[in-house]
Amino acid sequence: PGGEPLLEVEDIVVGYGRIEALHGISLQVAEGELVTLLGANGAGKTTTMRALSGLLPLTRGRIVFEGSDISRVQAHRRVLAGLVQAPEGRGVFPGMTVRENLEMGCYARPFRNKGDHDAALDRVFELFPRLREREKQVGGTLSGGEQQMVAIGRALMARPRLLLLDEPSMGLAPMVIQQIFRIIAEINATGTTVLLVEQNARQALARSDRGYILETGVVTKSGPGRELLDDPAVQAAYLGVG
Ligand code: ATP
């Protein structure tokens, strides 16, 4: 961590019609980092992710990815460049098998040859042995945790340079949440840069190089994960301490 900036978000303003949701936020993610964006409901976390993915236009500011201004680049071209978001609400196709669901991830960014495809699928199955066991099971019959694994695995099939994860622990049981966080840390440790949005502040910060606190559309604090964990104001607002 701490390499070249991979993502630079510069003073972006984003809104829905006349309602401004982000009032000029800036953040950076360096090559190799795991960075968490924290905030209460309605703070603008999802809006930030959607702006990064290219699903919402910027009113002002810019987004620079690997040194290029991508502010006006279409969503599917951002995926091709390696900016890949695992969908919100998981978006697993219920009638497709686990394997077919995973393979949907590389439609947006096709492999050049079968060897690369198989290697990528293998990496996903190594991270999620559970999915290998359930390769032929249809998405609609998977547990919530398994669906989240499919959503993350599918994003990995697009070979992200930066993986965007929006609340991957949402709605999952505590033990499954632990497992998902361990896997996210492993994905990061094996070379993928990750920007994570989480309500589960303690676990996310404990595993993050750095974090940003978002409050009603502005960044109010940022710093190393451990520093934010030890910050009394952060503890009172997000960690149920104080
Ligand atoms: P949560 O944790 O509840 O998902 P969030 O931090 O992701 O919250 P956003 O969903 O980004 O917050 O919402 C930021 C602000 O933008 C909120 O005030 C919200 O009401 C508003 N907003 C979000 N989506 C829309 C929309 N489609 N139309 C109008 N306003 C919206």
Is the CB of 39 inside a 6 Å radius of any atom of ligand 1? yes
Average pLDDT, the chain: 92
Confidence bin at 2 (pLDDT 50/70/90): low
How far is the centre of ligand 1, averaged over its atoms, from the C-alpha of 199 (Å)?
14
How far is the centre of ligand 1, averaged over its atoms, from the C-alpha of 82 (Å)?
25
Is the CB of 46 inside a 6 Å radius of any atom of ligand 1? yes
Q: Which atom of ligand 1 is nearest to the CA of 50?
A: 11
pLDDT digits (tens, 9 = 90+) for 68-89: 999 999 999 999 999 999 976 6
Residue 168 has pLDDT above 80, yes or no: yes
- Closest Cα partner for 98 from 143, 44, 34, 41? 143
Residues 91, 88: Cα–Cα separation, whole Å: 7
Residue 160 has pLDDT above 90, yes or no: yes
CA distances from 228 to 2, 26, 183, 231 (A): 18, 18, 22, 5
Amino acid at 9: V
Q: Which segment of 64-78, 99-113, 140-154 scores lowest on mean pLDDT?
A: 99-113
Contact assessment for residue 147 and residue 178, using Cβ atoms and an 8 Å cutoff: no
Mean pLDDT on 101-121: 87
Nearest CA to ligand 1 atom 9: 44
Residue 242 has pLDDT above 60, yes or no: no
pLDDT digits (tens, 9 = 90+) for 26-37: 999 999 999 999
Query: CB pairs under 8 A, 24+ apart, for 199-206?
Result: 199/38, 199/167, 199/169, 199/170, 200/169, 201/36, 201/38, 201/234, 201/238, 201/239, 202/229, 202/239, 203/169, 203/177, 203/178, 204/36, 204/38, 205/36, 205/38, 205/229
Is the CB of 19 inside a 6 Å radius of any atom of ligand 1? yes
Cβ neighbourhood burial of 18 (10 Å; 0-12, 13-18, 19+): exposed
Task: List, in sequence order, every residue forming a beta bridge with 47; answer none if it has no partner.
Answer: none
pLDDT > 90: percent of the chain: 81
Confidence bin at 60 (pLDDT 50/70/90): very high
Residue 1 has pLDDT above 60, yes or no: no
How far is the centre of ligand 1, averaged over its atoms, from the C-alpha of 221 (Å)?
20
